[in-house]
Amino acid sequence: MLLSLGVRGALVGHSERRQYFGETDETVALRTRGALDAGLHVIACVGETLEQRERGETEDVLRRQLAVLEPHPHLVLAYEPVWAIGTGLTATPDQAQEAHEFIKSLLDAPVLYGGSVKPDNAASLLAQPAVDGALVGGASLDVDSFKAICAAAERIPS
């Protein structure tokens, strides 16, 4: 149905879907597989809460979330630390790099960073070698802000 409407992709497993609609790692995997099998491109989101990060569980959480996903040419992952969604907090470039490297060690797919990307942090996050792009949330609602993030991305050497 989505393809017939011209939709080409889907965002699956966003932290708010997990939090407010009870999506689990298993339902995220089912939705991801279903969308890919139907011919959509998928961005599947993974990430830990602040409590999980503070307890040193980031890798365990990511390993669990990724264990149910399978490589696919139309699958892109987004690391969105839950503690950085709508809180004003963001991962440092080093934290993003470390998480992205770990994710890529488990599943061969491009990985976007998606936790409070803004014009003032986009360049430093996107400059990290393991960060393949950004999943921009609230900053995409302001044209000037989004243009500044796009300009920062264009300046990153490939």
CATH number at residue 87: 3.20.20.70
pLDDT, residue 97, reads: 98
Burial (Cβ within 10 Å: 0-12, 13-18, ≥19) of residue 39:
exposed
Active site (annotated) includes residue 74: no
pLDDT tens digits, 68-114: 999 999 999 999 999 988 777 889 999 999 999 999 999 999 999 99
Active site (annotated) includes residue 80: yes
pLDDT, residue 149, reads: 97
- Across 24-33, b (16+ Cβ under 10 Å) vs e yields ebebbbebbb
pLDDT, residue 90, reads: 83
Catalytic residue among 23, 48, 72, 80: 80
pLDDT, residue 141, reads: 95
Catalytic residue among 14, 48, 72, 100: 14
Q: What total of structural domains would you count in the chain?
A: 1
Q: Work out the mean pLDDT of the chain and round it to a whole number.
A: 95
- Mark the ranges of the chain whose per-residue pLDDT is less than 70: none
pLDDT, residue 86, reads: 74
Domain that holds residue 120: 3-154
